[in-house]
Amino acid sequence: MTAYQLPNVVLSIHAAVQPRELKYIAFTGQYEQVHAILHRIPRGERTKYADKYVLSQGIWGGIQKLRKLLGVHAEAAAESEKAFIDETLNLFISNCKNSGIYPRELFQSILYWSDELVKLSLADEALAYIEEARAMGANKFPDLQTMLLSRMAQIFSDKGQLPRAFAVLEDLARRPFLLTDRNQIPEILFRLGQLALQNQDVHYYKRLMLWGLRHFYTDIDNRRRFVEQLGRTYRRSYRLFFDPTVRISDKILFFVHWFYYKMPDFRRLRLGFFSRAMKLGILGYVYMLNYFRGGEFFDSGAASIKAAPRPSPNGKGTLHGTAAHSSPRQRRRLLITRAMGGIGDLLMMTPGIHALKQKYPGQEIYLALPKRYFSVFQGNPDVTLVDIENGDFDFTAYRRWFNLTDCPAARVESRTAPRVKKTRIEIFARSLGVRGLRLRAMNRRPRYFLSEEDKEFGEKFWQENGLAGKPVIGVQLHADEVYRDYPHAQQLVRKLSQSYTVLVFDAKPINGCDFTNVIKIDSLGIRQAFALASRCNAIIAPDSAFVHLAAAFNIPCVALFGPIDGRARTKDYPRCTYLDARATLNCVPCWRNETLPCKLTNMRTSICMAHIPVARILEALEKQLQES
């Protein structure tokens, strides 16, 4: 083969790669190969390869290639690579708009590329992508939304558009219940304080620095940052105590922090327990300030951000917010905030919420969460629902505030894995203040309420499909995250269909499962799908929502687990049998998540899920049906 023939061979390589093969290469994280193959596919043919894994890995591979080209000053090649990344990302956006499905990978790609564009001094292009992400619903993923908004504020600040940067950061500071990690709060407040200084609003700047101490987060080094900044602001720390604009409660808060950082290192004297006790005391005090009795101690902190009239950043008029002082009626309300799903977690929250209602029967419980999840709580008498994304409410005006956006279950599990003992139902209940005898006596069955319309829909469906009197098995085909999927699901459905009518549930169109006695449920809303599931004789599902739904309806369930410990997830469900592969793979459970690859295969899928035999599932199902 001659040298001049080689490019033609290389350019034709893509013809040998089928879309399914490229998807697999992308799914396994081989971004360099995906990028190389996608680069060789003519622009007009890339649409048929448009998959979320292919496009996201192609974009990431392009970013890595661009960095290498810029490192060797290959400007022309770098410009071509940038054009490829833009084309691929725009294809991704267009494909998502056409399908109406906006996956996490899309917003991650926009975040990565916008960061790179800022480094390339292309801030306007980065800003356009961020605005596009917000319009497409990045708020579905609060962690990514926070990072996108933080990047947007930085772009505005770098461009000298301080009022716009101020507005973005203030909105984040004003709504901490949207932050999935409370340790993001100090950076937001500090940056907002710097903007307030540049806006010549020293009074507001001081309040922000004090709010940095008042807000609850556990990073003690970040607390030192605010103490030192206040010390520099007053030049001598003691001057703060003579400032008439600083409330007494804030002076006390500053003093206990200042005293902690001035203490000697007791570890050298083998008295480290004293420092630890002091640290826990400070954090406990701040926790009480944040989550108990609301607005009374936010007059000089959180509420002041909204309540105190102050100069507008653009110099026109004043900004006003909700009054800091709450009425007696408001003080009889409790607030729970949760800025994201998943549906399984929301169901596992319901026993704790019910126990909280029993603990405070005379008080209203307001549950603030995205409106798209309202259907999970429809008909639930324990709560009044508030749209957390668009609702204009003052979280400081409630007697108590329980923030479940910074997920307490995830924190406990990450701290105790792989020896997690507590169920999420218990963790959520404890986070809602349900403890002791009340916790032990709590009914741990999830609560979900069918409306008359739901019941009528289920009855009509059963009649139209001739299901009355037949054994019907519900199968959840996929979990929300790939690492929890059961790879032999189609084979399982085929085996089940030989003995039962099978309802196969999924949130997207189902490819396959075209067997006799199988009905695909892939185009219904949550309420209708759950209404059908409630009529099944048994449920088979991976670690996901239908496991907890089966418990809510007291339906026999066979739950398939891998990285997550089924024992910890289902021990509150007496009619649930969990299966896993720990007998053959001792690494089960490893408690990894979607972002961490399997330690055995370095892939996104979980090899342990493949080691649950179909025959074992059928055996467990038969036993469950016989017992019921």
- Residues 241-280 have pLDDT tens digits of 999 999 998 999 999 999 888 887 766 666 667 778 888 8
Let me know if residue 171 belongs to a domain. yes
Let me know if residue 277 belongs to a domain. yes
Cis (ω within 30 of 0) for the bond into 446?
no
Q: Report pLDDT for 164.
A: 95
Let me know if residue 614 belongs to a domain. yes
414, 461: one domain: no
Let me know if residue 152 belongs to a domain. no
610, 487: one domain: yes
Let me know if residue 36 belongs to a domain. no
- Residues 370-383 have pLDDT tens digits of 999 999 999 999 99
Q: How many domains does the chain have?
A: 3
Let me know if residue 110 belongs to a domain. no
Indicate if the pLDDT at residue 294 is higher than 80: no
| C-alpha distance from residue 273 to each of 255, 260, 276, 309, 420 (Å) | 21, 13, 5, 44, 26
415, 462: one domain: no
The residue with greater pLDDT, 477 or 595, is: 477
- Indicate the residue among 276, 298, 320 that finishes a domain: 298
Q: Lowest-confidence range among 13-22, 27-36, 199-208, 512-521?
A: 13-22
519, 556: one domain: yes
Let me know if residue 318 belongs to a domain. no
Cα distance between residue 151 and residue 270, in whole Å: 44
For the chain, the average pLDDT equals: 88
- Residues 82-92 have pLDDT tens digits of 999 999 999 99
Tokens 């703060």 sit on residue: 240
pLDDT band at 6 (very low <50, low <70, confident <90, very high): very low
388, 244: one domain: no
Domain around 469: 452-627
Instruction: Find the CATH number of the domain harbouring 541.
Output: 3.40.50.2000
584, 619: one domain: yes
Single pTM value for the model: 0.86
Let me know if residue 23 belongs to a domain. no
497, 367: one domain: no
Tokens of 170: 């203030």
582, 541: one domain: yes
Q: Report pLDDT for 628.
A: 78
Three-state SS sequence of 534-566: CCCCEEEEECCHHHHHHHHCCCCEEEECCCCCH
179, 285: one domain: yes
Share of the chain above pLDDT 70, in %: 90
- Indicate the residue among 389, 409, 441 that finishes a domain: 441
pLDDT band at 304 (very low <50, low <70, confident <90, very high): very low
Indicate if the pLDDT at residue 343 is higher than 50: yes
175, 251: one domain: yes
Indicate if the pLDDT at residue 136 is higher than 50: yes
541, 569: one domain: yes
Q: Report pLDDT for 269.
A: 62
222, 364: one domain: no
Q: Is 294 exposed, middle or buried (0-12, 13-18, 19+ CB in 10 A)?
A: buried
Indicate if the pLDDT at residue 171 is higher than 70: yes
- Residues 489-514 have pLDDT tens digits of 999 999 999 999 999 999 889 999 99
Indicate if the pLDDT at residue 194 is higher than 50: yes
- Indicate the residue among 376, 406, 441 that finishes a domain: 441
